[in-house]
A and B are shown apart, each in its own frame.
Chain A
Amino acid sequence: MSVAPTFAKRDWPLMLVRRREFGVVAAVVVLVTVTTVINPGFAIGSDGFRNLLLTPSLLVILAVAQAIVIITKNVDLSVSAVLGLTAYATGLLFTDVPGAPLPLVVVAGIGLGAVLGAVNGFLVSVARVPSLVITLGTLYIYRGIDVAWAGSDRINATDLPSQFTALGTASLLGIPVMSIVAVAVVAIAAYVMSQTRAGRQMYAIGSNGYAAQLYGLAVRRTVFIGFVASGTLAGLAGVLFAARYATVSSNAGFGMELQAVAAAVLGGVAIVGGIGTVLGAALGAVLLTTISRALPTLGIGDFWQQAVLGALIIGAIVLDRAIAARQARRLRSAHARAAAVARKEPVS
């Protein structure tokens, strides 16, 4: 579980195996191996390998964004609409402002995401309406703006500068640039969440918001920052979406908000807040995308693919409950033993 990284130094191999991240990685490895045995093209060969790394990238970024917000005991359902809106805005900037410098457009796209995230954060922390409701609302609003703005129009590959679309296909030392970006996002977010005061504060607030308030933590500001981070990452994902697919219509990213939540949950982020890691969420995204790609290869029909994904999510949560209950029991009895030992010691 999430407390594991600080919990055990003594028996770390055991704790490593017990961690959710390990289980998810193992599942991905097994899945890829089995699928590749059945259809070697799945992972072997330059195309297969590239797709294996490239496809999960966008969802990985969204899952990290989602994990940050969920850890503070909130949820951001608007990420997919933010992705769609920033993707369209990015494309539009290229078509309407010919010759716009590429880095500036990228920054503008990410900045738009940050603004949309800030709107969410403002509504949640000031209006004090549950984030589920707020972001469900902004999910429709952002998507609505996107639809109203784009209409039946769409950005085509020919509208975009080739250096930009190259971003979505280019590789560095055989690894797709987009995957490198995703890994960098995971690394930075993981560092902030586990190694800085601000990150730990997010865990504290998600774990017990009332205690955080009594303790004098800046609860509202922290939640706000969480939503800005989520919007920023969704904006980045939007820019990458435009670069990767080069075709952006008003339904870009449609439905990805629930995939992001599912990925986070699959990766061990507890929906009640305070538990889980962004690394877990990212691995959950990899597993989710890889499964959707592997199932057809394994000969499982369309309908059953959805059902399998659903069963997996439920299974992961049930497993979480079982592990949490076991750990609570173990901690209680360990505590009773320790107390008994402590009492035998002479009182200094």
Chain B
Amino acid sequence: MATQPPHEPFRPSPGDPPLLELRSVAKSFGSVAALRSMDLTVDRGSIHGLIGENGAGKSTLVKIVAGVHSRDRGTLTVDGDSVDFGSAARAKDAGIAVIYQEPTLFGDLSVMENIFMGRQPVTRLRRLDRAAMRRDARALFRRLGVAMDPDRPTLGLSIADQQILEIAKAISMEAKLLVMDEPTAALSGIEVDRLFAIARALRDEGRGLVFISHRFDEIFDLCDRVTVMRDGSYVSTHRTDEVTSAELVAEMVGREVETMFPRSEREGRGEVVLRVEGLSRRGTFADVSLTIHSGEIVGLAGLVGAGRSEVARAVFGVDDYDTGRVGVSGSPLRKGNPRSAIRAGVAFVPEDRREQGLLVDLSLARNIALVLRRKLSAWGLIRRVGEDSLAAGWARTLQIKARDLDVEAGTLSGGNQQKAVIAKWMATEPRLLIIDEPTRGIDVGTKIEVHRLLDKLAGEGLAILMISSELPEVLGMSDRVYVMCEGRVTGEFARHEATSEAVMTAATTLEAAR
């Protein structure tokens, strides 16, 4: 990269206009007001946190700054000049780079082409200079501290690597303002540390950063200031050293929140529901043994790529395994057969709900009743009435917020989509619930509701296996914690033993198991 980081961190001079300033910005889609009145000021050489519940309008704000949407009202200035982008290309030309929440990559193209699309290095005859492109991509990856082949197709990259690619793309633009919409949602600890180191370096070069995250520790760790928004409106801006997370949460939800991890007193665990013995698949996981009792929440912690999701998928039968045994309530499960798992009372809420958990084009009711369609059908036809009444019941129990049961599932907020997936499985009356990243990309308010729901279900005797990359969630919710590292179980901790140090040590060292 051409720019040499200055030795002295950048300090904005007092007279300068802010890098980015929004005043009373509003935006509606049809009759729905996504932004009512939003203010935001980002200085050069600073990292500005932006928090708010899902549906608060953060992503709309990002897209207005990125030139994808145009605002209805209000002013938007960059370096003191009022701007009206009208297109993403114009915003990019103005020096604004954005990392969107969902990776937006060209799967059929190579990694390096994804980074440099539209600004590929060319020779004098305007021919693509692939060697230069490869070199630049390698330099970027070195700077990010990751090993990725610039020539490999983007298809098949894990979510974490897709996110890293997005970050590399945004950094390569050498933008003066970098907006990051939940860039860490899919990253593990080491990757987050590297991203933060780069973010700080960019700040010290005098660039401005907007950082959106649901994780408060990250906001406090990285940001100089933080702005809270709620219901499409500006609430407040604080210096991060002058505010507590409890105050921020209260401002976000507009009320006091007692605890992030509600936990009722439970009777103690019952009989063994899931017993996994010596489960192995070559190159993915090895010798994994787990037991889960009814009425307990068991956390499965580890870094991204440790093989946790792969184990869950193998247990449920979506993926195959080479050796080992899986038993539910004493009877063995057939391998590679999700139907038999469902019949045995296993429910599985996958990591990527839009891709794997939800039929986004179908109605909420249809989604909830999906697994039960056989039970609800008469003469091979699904009875609409049965479907609706079942769905209505579960939507009420789980407090799914939707206009009505006929709305397309894809239009629900992240938290409500997750509840819909949980409702779908709860309707099958399972004994074991495997849930992968239960609250990824879900705002604080709904997160607590999901936690409360899991706690309640465990209280009713359900056995829950919860995979989560958020350590506080694992520690706060679990009765017991298994830790995986590079495909092996490297630790098992009872609730009182499970400290963040112990879990992180087990998650990063394979030797701990031996």
Partner of A6, one of B66, B100, B113, B156: B113
Q: Would you call A215 an interface residue if the criterion is a C-beta within 8 Å of the partner chain's C-beta atoms?
A: yes
Q: Give every chain A residue within 8 A of B156 (Cβ-Cβ).
A: 327-328, 331-332, 335
Binds B, one of A79-87, A205-213, A236-244: A205-213
- Asked if A3 and B157 sit within 8 Å, CB to CB, the answer is no
Binds B, one of A51-59, A169-177, A309-317, A337-345: A337-345
User: Which chain A residues in 39-81 approach chain B with CB under 8 Å?
Assistant: none
> Complex formed: what's the CA distance from A3 to B92 in Å?
27
User: Which chain B residues in 116-160 approach chain A with CB under 8 Å?
Assistant: 117-120, 122, 126-128, 130, 145-147, 149, 151-153, 155-158
- Asked if A217 and B89 sit within 8 Å, CB to CB, the answer is yes
> Complex formed: what's the CA distance from A60 to B108 in Å?
24
A334 CB, min distance to chain B CBs, angstroms:
8
A179 CB, min distance to chain B CBs, angstroms:
26
> Complex formed: what's the CA distance from A240 to B303 in Å?
62
Q: Give every chain A residue within 8 A of B130 (Cβ-Cβ).
A: 6
- Asked if A204 and B109 sit within 8 Å, CB to CB, the answer is yes
- Asked if B118 and A217 sit within 8 Å, CB to CB, the answer is yes
Q: Give every chain A residue within 8 A of B107 (Cβ-Cβ).
A: 207-208, 274
- Asked if B147 and A2 sit within 8 Å, CB to CB, the answer is no
Partner of A203, one of B68, B88, B106: B106
Q: Would you call B486 an interface residue if the criterion is a C-beta within 8 Å of the partner chain's C-beta atoms?
A: yes
- Asked if A197 and B88 sit within 8 Å, CB to CB, the answer is no
Partner of A204, one of B92, B106, B155: B106
Q: Would you call B110 an interface residue if the criterion is a C-beta within 8 Å of the partner chain's C-beta atoms?
A: yes
* Known A-B contacts A6-B130, A332-B156, A340-B486; A216 and B105 likewise in contact (beta carbons under 8 Å): no
- Asked if B305 and A200 sit within 8 Å, CB to CB, the answer is no
> Complex formed: what's the CA distance from A203 to B110 in Å?
11
> Complex formed: what's the CA distance from A339 to B309 in Å?
15
A129 CB, min distance to chain B CBs, angstroms:
20
Q: Would you call A232 an interface residue if the criterion is a C-beta within 8 Å of the partner chain's C-beta atoms?
A: no
Q: Would you call B104 an interface residue if the criterion is a C-beta within 8 Å of the partner chain's C-beta atoms?
A: yes
Q: Would you call B14 an interface residue if the criterion is a C-beta within 8 Å of the partner chain's C-beta atoms?
A: no
Dominant secondary structure of chain B at its interface with chain A: loop
B28 CB, min distance to chain A CBs, angstroms:
21
Q: Give every chain B residue within 8 A of A138 (Cβ-Cβ).
A: none
> Complex formed: what's the CA distance from A6 to B119 in Å?
17
Dominant secondary structure of chain A at its interface with chain B: helix
B290 CB, min distance to chain A CBs, angstroms:
20
- Asked if B151 and A7 sit within 8 Å, CB to CB, the answer is yes
Q: A1-27 vs B: 1/0 string, CB under 8 Å? A: 011001111000000000000000000
> Complex formed: what's the CA distance from A204 to B109 in Å?
7
Residue of A nearest to B161 (CB): A335
User: Which chain A residues in 298-313 approach chain B with CB under 8 Å?
Assistant: none
> Complex formed: what's the CA distance from A38 to B190 in Å?
67
- Asked if B89 and A197 sit within 8 Å, CB to CB, the answer is no
Q: Would you call B67 an interface residue if the criterion is a C-beta within 8 Å of the partner chain's C-beta atoms?
A: yes
Residue of B nearest to A337 (CB): B283
> Complex formed: what's the CA distance from A332 to B152 in Å?
11
Q: Give every chain A residue within 8 A of B90 (Cβ-Cβ).
A: 216
* Known A-B contacts A200-B109, A200-B120; A333 and B66 likewise in contact (beta carbons under 8 Å): no
Q: Would you call B340 an interface residue if the criterion is a C-beta within 8 Å of the partner chain's C-beta atoms?
A: no
A331 CB, min distance to chain B CBs, angstroms:
3
> Complex formed: what's the CA distance from A7 to B134 in Å?
12
* Known A-B contacts A338-B147, A345-B147; A331 and B152 likewise in contact (beta carbons under 8 Å): yes
- Asked if B88 and A343 sit within 8 Å, CB to CB, the answer is no
Partner of A218, one of B89, B91, B486: B89
Q: By the criterion of a CB under 8 Å from any partner CB, how many residues of chain B are at the interface? A: 48
- Asked if B128 and A217 sit within 8 Å, CB to CB, the answer is no
Q: How many contacting A-B pairs (Cβ < 8 A)? A: 129
Residue of A nearest to B149 (CB): A338
- Asked if A201 and B108 sit within 8 Å, CB to CB, the answer is no
> Complex formed: what's the CA distance from A343 to B88 in Å?
36
Q: Give every chain A residue within 8 A of B244 (Cβ-Cβ).
A: none
* Known A-B contacts A217-B89, A339-B158, A343-B303; A203 and B109 likewise in contact (beta carbons under 8 Å): yes
Q: Give every chain B residue within 8 A of A7 (Cβ-Cβ).
A: 110, 151-153
> Complex formed: what's the CA distance from A97 to B303 in Å?
77
A199 CB, min distance to chain B CBs, angstroms:
9
A83 CB, min distance to chain B CBs, angstroms:
30
- Asked if A343 and B105 sit within 8 Å, CB to CB, the answer is no
Q: Give every chain A residue within 8 A of B237 (Cβ-Cβ).
A: none
A329 CB, min distance to chain B CBs, angstroms:
8
- Asked if A328 and B155 sit within 8 Å, CB to CB, the answer is yes
Q: Give every chain B residue within 8 A of A158 (Cβ-Cβ).
A: none
* Known A-B contacts A216-B88, A338-B147; A207 and B305 likewise in contact (beta carbons under 8 Å): no
User: Which chain B residues in 66-108 approach chain A with CB under 8 Å?
Assistant: 66-68, 87-92, 98, 100, 104-108
Q: Would you call A152 an interface residue if the criterion is a C-beta within 8 Å of the partner chain's C-beta atoms?
A: no
A68 CB, min distance to chain B CBs, angstroms:
15
Residue of B nearest to A340 (CB): B486
> Complex formed: what's the CA distance from A252 to B155 in Å?
42
> Complex formed: what's the CA distance from A196 to B113 in Å?
12
- Asked if B128 and A211 sit within 8 Å, CB to CB, the answer is no
* Known A-B contacts A3-B153, A340-B305, A343-B486; A208 and B146 likewise in contact (beta carbons under 8 Å): no
- Asked if A342 and B146 sit within 8 Å, CB to CB, the answer is yes
- Asked if A215 and B117 sit within 8 Å, CB to CB, the answer is yes
Q: Would you call A104 an interface residue if the criterion is a C-beta within 8 Å of the partner chain's C-beta atoms?
A: no
Q: Give every chain A residue within 8 A of B486 (Cβ-Cβ).
A: 340, 343
Most B CB within 10 A of own CB, among A2, A207, A213, A274: A207
Q: Would you call B363 an interface residue if the criterion is a C-beta within 8 Å of the partner chain's C-beta atoms?
A: no
Q: Would you call B284 an interface residue if the criterion is a C-beta within 8 Å of the partner chain's C-beta atoms?
A: yes
Q: Would you call A148 an interface residue if the criterion is a C-beta within 8 Å of the partner chain's C-beta atoms?
A: no
Subset of 24 A-B contacts with CB under 8 Å = A3-B153, A3-B155, A9-B151, A195-B128, A196-B127, A200-B113, A200-B120, A201-B118, A203-B108, A204-B109, A204-B117, A207-B109, A213-B88, A214-B104, A216-B89, A216-B118, A274-B109, A335-B157, A335-B158, A335-B161, A337-B283, A343-B303, A343-B305, A345-B147
Q: Other than A2-B108, A217-B89, give 10 A-B pairs with Cβ distance below 8 A.
A: A3-B109, A6-B151, A196-B127, A204-B109, A208-B107, A215-B104, A216-B91, A274-B109, A331-B152, A343-B486
Closest 9 pairs between A and B when the two form their complex, measured CB to CB: A331-B156, A211-B104, A216-B88, A216-B89, A274-B108, A207-B106, A207-B108, A3-B153, A342-B147
Name B residues whose Cβ lies closer than 8 Å to a Cβ of A.
Answer: 66-68, 87-92, 98, 100, 104-110, 112-113, 117-120, 122, 126-128, 130, 145-147, 149, 151-153, 155-158, 161, 190, 283-284, 303, 305, 486-487
